[in-house]
Amino acid sequence: MVFLLGGPFRHPDVILDANPLLTLSVVLVAGVGFGTLAKRFHLPAVTGQILVGILIGPAVIGVFRGETIHDLEPVIDFALGLMAVDVGSHLALRRLGNAKRRLALLLAFEAALTPALVFAGVFLLSGGMSWYMSNLLAAIAISTAPATILAIVKETRSKGVFVKTLVAAVALNNLVCILAFELAHTVARVSVVGGSEGFASILMVPLKQLVLSALLACGTGLALVAATRRIVRPDRLTAVSIIAILLTIGLAQHLEISVLLSCLFLGVLLANVTPDKEEIGHEVFENFEYAIYAVFFTVAGMELQFRYLIPAGVVALAMFLGRFVGKVAAASIAMKVAGATDRIRKHLGVALIPQAGLAVGLMLLVTEDPAFAANAAVRAERDTFLAVVLTVVLFNELIGPILTRRALVRSGDFGKDRARLIDFLHEEHIVCGLQAEHKEQAIEQLVDHLIRTHDQPIERDAFLEAVLERERMASTCLGDGLAMPHAELEEGEAIVGVMGISRHGLDFDAPDGHPVHCMVLLATPSSQRAHHLEVLAAFARAIGHTRNIRQQLYQADSSAHAYELLHADEESEDFNYFLEEDE
């Protein structure tokens, strides 16, 4: 990463020749301090860290020499790679089953609408910027800052369907952004230097990046899985994980492959191959995440300079507005078509506004490309391109985190990453439109769904027979349309379960004569019997005494809607309470 220096307010008598460790400590103190201060004003810590970076960077004070800041490059590269692994880990196919439709539609609309609006605005209002440079700006506009989104989600302890959709969307749009940029970059180089490359050869450039990044991630990821198969000591798991991530970043840089794509694929592989091994990969840095984010965003702020605001002018404004409108409109249209809940549809677009690391990295690929220094006219256009991207990044990183935090609050996911009584029921564990001719068939369907959506050593036939045997002893239909079949597990540390919902109701000869609209299948380890009884009592209380929840839950038209009902504070606080508050 290159740091752009030369601010007009540099003070030569401030710390200039600090060694790398002293530089890192000053940056960390500034980032943590201003991040804490920002939170006191109900702003994201990221905003405070970017602002202090601008303050101590070349734009204002200029605390360090360029060479001194340059020494932090390995730390910043590692932070960016680590964040990409973290984002990729949210693309676990098992968890995203219910979200495939809305993610596919969002990706399609965002990849089409956002760059189209940016290209039209920039090309028409620039008064001279070439179509291929406008195309490069349009490709960069697709990206959302994964580091910013993750930092705000973790800082606010947000959790739910909205967060799952947001983080997965960020991972996918960064992947598409890199591919679109590689294609636009190749077209621009051909346009500048000339050549006879056909469309097929141009298309091979992004495909090559995609394939090589995936192969590199598979190599290091599978090596990590194999190396940790027999390792149980936490210190050795941490060491092997660090080696795998550093190796992925280092090899990607050496082979001139996208570091972000490679680390993204590494996270995806670990999430799907070893979903039960949370002690490897990015998770080993859990206690250091805040410090890593503080350094990353403070240094990112040090890169931003006000001297680019004036020359960027109308073009930057056109890109900013086109990107903003494109993100919001694409998310709103896609979520409406996908049938997502109002909370997701209304707030997802503004949550996607932050833009930083990837945009700056892609920008540098253009500004450092010798092809764009061929003559004075091309160099002038390249400098305008640089000014536009940096100006838009400045706006998006100052305004975006505030909008993302606000979206998390209004989505209802804010502060939900705390243990709750029925935390085991996620969106992917809920089935709407349950149909069965008899109770045994319904139970069998739920058992299959339980095994399909959980990584648990459950022997299917034995567990099914245990549930049916328990049902033969006494009906688990609790009345008012609720049934809770269950059985005990010999292994495990936590309750797992799934829910099936039928709008029309299933005639299972319940003791009260009412049709069953909701079936909750529970698999409980012997050590969780007390928790099991609490869950049974909570559902019975909610369904039996809260008519509003019962009616809405039984009529839920999607798994996301049912999940929101079960986890919304205003709807479910009486029965799905936070365990830490209960304690």
Does residue 57 have a pLDDT over 70? yes
What contacts 351, CB < 8 A, 6 or more positions away?
149, 162, 166, 403, 404, 407, 408, 411
**Residue 282 banded pLDDT, cuts 50, 70, 90:** low
Q: Which is higher by pLDDT, 271 or 575? A: 271
The answer to whether the CB of 55 falls within 8 A of the CB of 61 is yes
Specify the 3-state DSSP secondary structure of 108. Answer: helix
- Kindly report, residue by residue over 87-135, the tens digit of the pLDDT: 777 777 777 777 888 899 999 999 999 999 999 998 887 766 788 889 9
414 has pLDDT over 60: yes
Helix axes 45-56, 376-411, angle to 10 degrees: 150
The string of pLDDT tens digits covering residues 131-177 is: 888 999 999 999 888 878 888 888 888 888 899 899 889 888 888 88
Q: Smallest Cα–Cα separation from 179: which of 150, 146, 145, 214?
A: 214
Residue range 460-477: mean pLDDT, rounded: 88
| Cα R_g (the chain), whole angstroms | 26
pLDDT exceeds cutoff 80 at 498 = yes
Q: How many whole angstroms separate alpha carbon 161 and alpha carbon 429?
A: 12
Bridge-partner residues for 518, per DSSP?
Answer: 482, 501
Check whether 9 has a pLDDT greater than 60: no
**pLDDT, tens digit, 9 for 90 and up, residues 382-404:** 878 877 887 888 788 889 889 99
pLDDT tens track for 517-553? 989 998 888 888 887 888 888 777 767 666 777 888 8
Task: Give the per-residue SS3 of 315-328.
Answer: HHHHHHHHHHHHHH
The pLDDT of residue 1 = 38
DSSP code, position 477: E
- Distance, CA of 425 to CA of 498 (rounded, Å): 6
Asked if the model's pLDDT at residue 3 lies above 50, the reply is no
What mean pLDDT value characterizes the chain? 81
* pLDDT tens by residue, 185-231: 888 888 887 655 666 777 777 788 889 999 999 999 898 888 877 77
Angstrom distance (rounded) from CA 568 to CA 160: 10
The pLDDT of residue 481:
87
Residue 353 has pLDDT above 90, yes or no: yes
Is 427-575 in the same CATH topology as 20-411?
Answer: no
Task: Supply the pLDDT for residue 417.
Answer: 67
> Nearest-CA neighbor of 464 among 444, 490, 436?
444
The residues facing 524 across adjacent strands are: 488
The C-alpha atoms of residue 150 and residue 264 are separated, in whole angstroms, by 14
Nearest of 284, 271, 260 to residue 145 by alpha carbon: 260
Q: What is the pLDDT of residue 421?
A: 59
Closest CA to 294 of 45, 20, 82, 21: 45
Residue 531 or residue 56, greater confidence: 56
Lowest mean pLDDT among 68-77, 172-181, 237-246, 522-531: 68-77
Question: Given this model, what pLDDT does residue 17 score?
Answer: 65
Query: What value, to the nearest 5°, has the Cα angle with vertex 28 and ends 23 and 31?
Result: 125
Instruction: State residue 7's pLDDT score.
Output: 44
Token pair in block for residue 582: 């209960």
| Residue 195: per-residue pLDDT | 59
Output 470 or 125, whichever has higher pLDDT.
470
Percent of the chain with pLDDT over 70: 86
Level-2 CATH architecture, domain 20-411: Up-down Bundle (1.20)
If you ran DSSP here, which 8-state letter would residue 514 be given?
P
Domains of the chain, by residue range, sit at 20-411, 427-575
**SS3 label, residue 547:** helix
427-575 — its CATH code? 3.40.930.10
Does residue 251 carry a pLDDT above 80? yes
| pLDDT greater than 50 at residue 554 | yes
Among residues 328, 344, 544, which one has the least CA distance to residue 427?
A: 344
pLDDT at 10: 46
Structure tokens at 557: 């038209």
Give the integer Cα–Cα distance in Å for 483 and 481. 7
Tokens of 246: 């550093």
Q: How far is CA 481 from CA 74, 471, 502, 553, 575, in A?
A: 59, 16, 10, 11, 18
Share of the chain above pLDDT 90, in %: 17
- Residue 306 scores a pLDDT above 80: no
Rounded Cα distance, 156 and 167, in Å: 14
* DSSP string across 395-406: HHHHHHHHHHHH
